[in-house]
Amino acid sequence: MTTVGFIGSGSIGSTIARLAIEAGHRIVLSNSRGPETLADTVAELGPRASAAPSGEAAAAGDIVVVTVPVKAFPNLPAAPLAGKTVIDTCNYGPERDGHIPELDSKSLTSSELLLGYIPDAMVVKAFNNIFFKHLLSLARPAEAADRSYLPIAGDSAPAKAAVTEFIESIGYSVVDAGPLADSWQQATGTPVWGTPYGPFSNQKGQPAGEDAIRAALAAATR
């Protein structure tokens, strides 16, 4: 059983938390408004779920999921994330985040930007390319013929291995999409972002196998 800390508890974070609970993991949720605002979510998820301030959630996690607006990166608790495997689910949106020169110029990916704020963590990009409703509905057992794949990108082999194990435990298989510098291949608007799993109007989504994900990644242009 893994303990997963969450910094941010929006749609994607809450969905990953739900799948993690169903897979037998423990979770510690946090958000910017304080743990008391997560009481209903914790009660719904059951006894393996709890809420805490973000620094405590980070410290508690064997793996920590960062799922916040990119503009919130400077506010992350860097010290308790040191040495941690961190899953970055975040997508850059200038309309929400404001314009960030390094991202607008494409000199950095958003995951590389995140790593600049938490330099002692091991960052792995994952879950940023799938609609949260599809993420919930497409989870399948390991032996299922229609099991879907998710791309991950990162620079640390041990962190990638830990994230792969976690993702496999909650109902998905993994395609290794390379280092953090290549994580732009799964960013907003790329072929692998959303499309392989079906339109948002189909809330159940459609399974996306390994070949479909690899083809979508290969079709990305910058």
SS3 content of the chain, % helix, strand, coil (to 5): 40, 15, 40
Domain assignments of the chain as residue spans, ordered by start? 3-218
114: three-class secondary structure by DSSP? helix
Does the pLDDT value for residue 205 go beyond 90? yes
Q: Look at residue 222 in the predicted model and tell me its pLDDT.
A: 87
- The reported pTM is 0.96
Q: How confident is residue 42, by pLDDT bands cut at 50, 70 and 90? A: very high
User: What is the tens place of the pLDDT at every residue in 133-171?
Assistant: 999 999 999 999 999 999 999 999 999 999 999 999 999
Tokens of 101: 């020169």
Residue closest to 78 by CA, chosen among 154, 10, 7, 30? 7
Tokens of 187: 């960013």
How many whole angstroms separate alpha carbon 221 and alpha carbon 198?
Answer: 21
Q: Look at residue 90 in the predicted model and tell me its pLDDT.
A: 98
How many whole angstroms separate alpha carbon 124 and alpha carbon 156?
Answer: 8
State in words which class domain 3-218 has.
alpha beta
* Mean pLDDT, rounded, of the chain: 97
Does the pLDDT value for residue 78 go beyond 90? yes
- φ/ψ of residue 88, rounded to 5: -100, 110
